[in-house]
């Protein structure tokens, strides 16, 4: 396989060293195996050498493309292996050498590329030959009883090729060998194995029918190569249509979502920055109303082309999100670098004339953009999109033609009537008054704890709002639990416990239906996750759980322990504190646990709370 066809993405310094080492090693192995035997070939041997070299050149000429883009595959390996089986490794390397010389002269490619490919073939052929001989294989016609030797040789040839390519990708992409091999296996293993099996067929054809067998094989392989080429052309066309937005030429929404998932996983695993930009064309409706939808579509196409031209060199991915909204996914960019890039983009668009822009208030094309950066506690792509979306709408509110980073102006960004939000949520909680008054009281107590702890934690206005409202509504999903289970006096069965545990998922769904509550979803969904990963619904651990959700877990548990419940013994505050300490580091974040305990001890001291005191609200 000629992986050197991917030279466009080569990182010169590291990969050149890699090729130099491979080439030096290959030349040494060639000298040791071939020993210039071609100087003593008979006329018949030279005839076969020319014939088999011609076969490899023809098959190399009909090489076809494989995914990913830039990757190629030819069937010349089948000729080298057949040579090795019939005439031995020295003869196979002679064919390889003559092919290198003719190919370099004819195609006039940089010699070092052909040389590196040649030496990789040398290593593959020599390695396969050693295994073939070691497992009992003999040079000559194919022997059925030694089929295992042939399979061992083919496997060795394949794995040497895989390892060489794998290390190349490790150097080029800075990924792990496992990731590189996984991608390789996924994409081309079947095609590659077909090539190896063809070598056995060629061995039989040459042994039994000589030149006619070789001619027959070349004809068959050429047709197969052409068919593969057509097949992958069709594959590329279909893939292009499935991932591209026809109006703008950018990637479509589905592809964006898929890519966002992948990039979030990579950013989390490698602890690398990742930013998401949401873009909305300013006053696009006005343009549509003035010139009609056809012209509006042309404007979308223009902006799509503009984004593509600007984003591709920066190695960031622009997609059409929907309507007049676009996204730019920026791996490796923190919010500062992303802001610098998008602001430069915005100014360039302002200075780019487009027909009809005179009707816009600013007299030019413009967009508003919001930027959100990935954090370790963001697990759901929808949350990152939501943050970027909120930042974009804030940019709109500031008069459009703006770029805003999520959370950078929190005091202004979240100017809300906090008391009104509390009242709205309390109205919803009152449904518990007839279904489960204990949950209503519990929510109010946890809310009050959260009010105090937001001061202890010195939260800013945004986090304070989220934490307190999240504490108030964290058990909203219990409204979906059947009344009989919610108010059962005895011990719950395993099945009933599973129903109760579902309240975090049901609560999340309820919150997602209300625009105002969406930001509180993590508190509702994650307040039963444990610090050691033993919680539910996801089993997140440590810092995977947002800090304030970890704090809410402590408050929620402490209140549950120290207030009267129908299915457990009530603990005193002292017993509750002891239980928190016992579970610190397993169920609870140890640092936050000590903060809460310090707050409780201070509160008990100030209020001269009796040791056996219990909340009675």
Q: What is the pLDDT of residues 504-524, one digit of tens each?
A: 999 998 888 776 788 889 999
Same domain assignment for residues 49 and 179: yes
Same domain assignment for residues 572 and 458: yes
Same domain assignment for residues 401 and 419: no
Average pLDDT value for residue range 472-477? 90
Same domain assignment for residues 72 and 196: yes
CA 518 to chain centre: 24
pLDDT, residue 180, reads 58
CATH number where 384 lies? 3.30.70.270
**Sequence-separated (6 or more) residues with CB below 8 Å from residue 431:** 479
pLDDT digits (tens, 9 = 90+) for 10-35: 455 566 777 778 788 888 888 888 88
**Is 198 among the domain residues?**
yes
How many residues in total does the chain contain?
A: 617
pLDDT digits (tens, 9 = 90+) for 289-334: 888 888 888 999 999 999 999 998 888 999 999 888 999 999 999 9
Same domain assignment for residues 159 and 258: no
pLDDT at 1 over 50: no
Provide the token pair at 479.
């409204």
Q: Which helix (H) or strand (E) holds 328?
A: strand 325-331
CATH number where 428 lies? 1.10.3210.10
The domain boundary, picked from 242, 263, 283, lies at 242
The domain boundary, picked from 191, 215, 242, lies at 242
pLDDT at 172 over 70: no
Q: How many CA atoms lie within 13 A of 548 on its CB side?
A: 29
> Are 169 and 183 spatial neighbours (Cβ–Cβ below 8 Å)?
yes
Instruction: Give the separation between CA 324 and CA 400, rounded to whole angstroms.
Output: 14
Tell me 484's DSSP state: H
Our CA angle for 262, 268, 274, nearest 5°, is 70
**Sequence-separated (6 or more) residues with CB below 8 Å from residue 125:** 80, 81, 84, 89, 92, 93, 96, 157
DSSP 9-73: G--HHHHHHHHHHHHHHHHHHHHHHHTTGGGG--HHHHHHHHHHHHHHHHHHHT-EEETTTTEEE
Our CA angle for 520, 526, 532, nearest 5°, is 150
Instruction: Give the separation between CA 606 and CA 616, rounded to whole angstroms.
Output: 18
Q: In what order do the strands lie in the sheet with 325-331?
A: 317-322, 325-331, 274-281, 367-373, 403-405
Same domain assignment for residues 189 and 326: no
Instruction: Give the separation between CA 616 and CA 610, rounded to whole angstroms.
Output: 14
pLDDT digits (tens, 9 = 90+) for 348-381: 998 888 888 888 877 788 899 999 998 877 767 8
Provide the token pair at 246.
């026809």
Instruction: Give the separation between CA 92 and CA 319, rounded to whole angstroms.
Output: 49
Give first-to-last CA distance, the chain, whole Å.
75
pLDDT at 2 over 60: no
- At 607 the three-state DSSP class reads helix
Query: Which residue range(s) make up the domain with 535?
Result: 414-606
Instruction: Give the separation between CA 445 and CA 451, rounded to whole angstroms.
Output: 10
Average pLDDT value for residue range 546-560? 93
Same domain assignment for residues 476 and 503: yes
Instruction: Give the separation between CA 592 and CA 580, rounded to whole angstroms.
Output: 10
Averaged pLDDT of the chain: 82
Question: Which of 426, 391, 519, 504 is closest to 464 using CA atoms?
Answer: 519
Instruction: Give the separation between CA 576 and CA 564, rounded to whole angstroms.
Output: 13
**Is 402 among the domain residues?**
yes
**Is 5 among the domain residues?**
no
Average pLDDT value for residue range 256-278? 88
Provide the token pair at 297.
């579509």
Average pLDDT value for residue range 583-608? 89
**Is 484 among the domain residues?**
yes
Question: Which of 606, 613, 528 is closest to 571 using CA atoms?
Answer: 613
Instruction: Give the separation between CA 218 and CA 52, rounded to whole angstroms.
Output: 10
Least confident of 119-123, 370-374, 393-397: 393-397
- At 140 the three-state DSSP class reads coil
Number of domains making up the chain: 3
Instruction: Give the separation between CA 131 and CA 148, rounded to whole angstroms.
Output: 11
Same domain assignment for residues 167 and 267: no
**Is 376 among the domain residues?**
yes
Instruction: Give the separation between CA 108 and CA 299, rounded to whole angstroms.
Output: 45
Categorize the per-residue pLDDT at 176 as very low, low, confident or very high, splitting at 50, 70 and 90: low
Token pair 């396969």: residue: 128
Same domain assignment for residues 551 and 531: yes
CA 451 to chain centre: 38
pLDDT at 614 over 70: no
Q: Which helix (H) or strand (E) holds 278?
A: strand 274-281
Instruction: Give the separation between CA 548 and CA 450, rounded to whole angstroms.
Output: 10
Provide the token pair at 500.
């109760």
**Is 427 among the domain residues?**
yes
Same domain assignment for residues 105 and 205: yes
> Are 508 and 524 spatial neighbours (Cβ–Cβ below 8 Å)?
yes
pLDDT, residue 529, reads 94
Q: Which helix (H) or strand (E) holds 606?
A: helix 590-607
- At 376 the three-state DSSP class reads coil
Q: For residue 421, what are the CA distances in angstroms to 150, 391, 468, 469, 517?
A: 74, 21, 11, 8, 10
The domain boundary, picked from 390, 407, 424, lies at 407
Instruction: Kindly provide the b/e burial profile for residues 455-488, where b requires at least 16 CB atoms within 10 angstroms of the residue's own CB.
Output: eebebeeebbbbbbbbbbbbbbbbbebeeeebee
pLDDT digits (tens, 9 = 90+) for 73-115: 677 888 888 888 888 888 888 888 888 888 877 776 666 777 7
Q: What are phi and psi of 283, to 5 degrees?
A: 55, 35
pLDDT at 548 over 80: yes
**Is 615 among the domain residues?**
no
Q: What are phi and psi of 572, to 5 degrees?
A: -75, 170
pLDDT, residue 181, reads 62
pLDDT at 565 over 90: no
Same domain assignment for residues 449 and 513: yes
pLDDT, residue 72, reads 62
pLDDT, residue 320, reads 92
Provide the token pair at 103.
């190919």
**Is 171 among the domain residues?**
yes
Same domain assignment for residues 304 and 393: yes
Provide the token pair at 616.
């009675």
């Amino acid at each position: 396989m000629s992986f050197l066809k991917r030279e466009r993405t080569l990182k010169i310094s590291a990969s050149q060293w890699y090729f130099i080492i491979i080439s030096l090693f290959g030349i040494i192995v060639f000298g040791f195996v071939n020993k210039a035997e071609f100087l003593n070939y008979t006329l018949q041997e030279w005839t076969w050498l020319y014939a088999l070299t011609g076969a490899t050149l023809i098959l190399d000429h009909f090489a076809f493309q494989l995914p990913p883009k830039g990757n190629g595959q030819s069937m010349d390996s089948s000729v080298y292996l057949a040579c090795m089986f019939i005439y031995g490794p020295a003869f196979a390397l002679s064919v390889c050498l003559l092919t290198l010389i003719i190919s370099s002269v004819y195609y006039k490619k940089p010699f070092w590329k052909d040389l590196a490919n040649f030496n990789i073939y040398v290593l593959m052929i020599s390695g396969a030959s050693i295994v073939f001989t070691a497992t009992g294989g003999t040079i000559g016609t194919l022997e059925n009883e030694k089929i295992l030797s042939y399979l061992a040789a083919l496997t060795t040839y394949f794995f040497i090729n895989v390892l060489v390519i794998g290390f190349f990708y490790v150097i080029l992409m800075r990924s792990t060998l496992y990731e590189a091999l996984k991608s390789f296996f996924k994409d081309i293993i079947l095609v590659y194995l077909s090539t190896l099996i063809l070598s056995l067929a060629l061995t039989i054809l040459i042994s039994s029918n000589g030149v006619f067998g070789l001619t027959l094989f070349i004809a068959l392989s050429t047709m197969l190569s052409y068919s593969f080429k057509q097949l992958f052309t069709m594959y590329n066309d279909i893939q292009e249509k499935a991932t591209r937005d026809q109006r703008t030429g950018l990637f479509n929404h589905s592809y964006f979502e898929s890519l966002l998932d992948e990039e979030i996983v990579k950013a989390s695993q490698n602890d690398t920055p990742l930013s998401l930009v949401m873009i909305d064309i300013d006053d696009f409706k006005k343009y549509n109303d003035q010139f009609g939808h056809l012209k509006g579509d042309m404007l979308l196409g223009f902006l799509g082309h503009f984004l593509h031209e600007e984003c591709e060199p920066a190695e960031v991915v622009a997609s059409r999100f929907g309507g007049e909204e676009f996204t730019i996914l920026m791996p490796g960019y923190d919010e500062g670098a992303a802001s610098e890039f998008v602001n430069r983009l915005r100014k360039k668009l302002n200075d780019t004339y487009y027909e009809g822009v005179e009707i816009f208030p600013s007299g030019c094309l413009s967009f508003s953009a919001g930027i959100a950066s990935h954090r370790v506690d963001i697990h759901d792509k929808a949350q990152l999109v939501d943050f970027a979306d909120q930042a974009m709408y804030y940019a709109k509110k500031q008069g459009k033609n703006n770029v805003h980073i999520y959370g950078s102006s929190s005091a202004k960004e979240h100017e809300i009537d906090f008391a009104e939000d509390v009242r709205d949520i309390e109205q919803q909680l009152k449904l518990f008054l007839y279904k489960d008054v204990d949950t209503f009281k519990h929510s109010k107590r946890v809310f009050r704890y959260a009010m105090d702890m937001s001061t202890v934690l010195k939260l800013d206005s945004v986090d304070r709002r989220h934490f307190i409202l999240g504490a108030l509504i964290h058990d909203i999903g219990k409204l979906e639990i059947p009344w009989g289970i919610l108010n059962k006096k005895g011990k719950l069965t395993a099945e009933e416990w599973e129903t109760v545990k579902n309240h975090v998922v049901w609560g999340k769904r309820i919150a997602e239906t209300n625009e105002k509550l969406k930001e509180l979803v993590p508190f509702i969904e994650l307040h039963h996750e444990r610090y050691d990963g033993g919680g539910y619904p996801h089993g997140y651990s440590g810092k995977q759980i947002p800090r304030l959700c970890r704090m809410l877990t402590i408050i929620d548990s402490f209140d549950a322990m120290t207030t009267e419940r129908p299915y457990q013994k009530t603990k005193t505050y002292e017993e509750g504190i002891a239980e928190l300490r016992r579970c610190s580091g397993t169920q609870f974040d140890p640092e936050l646990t000590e903060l809460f305990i310090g707050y409780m001890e201070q509160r008990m001291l100030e209020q001269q709370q009796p040791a056996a005191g219990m909340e009675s609200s």
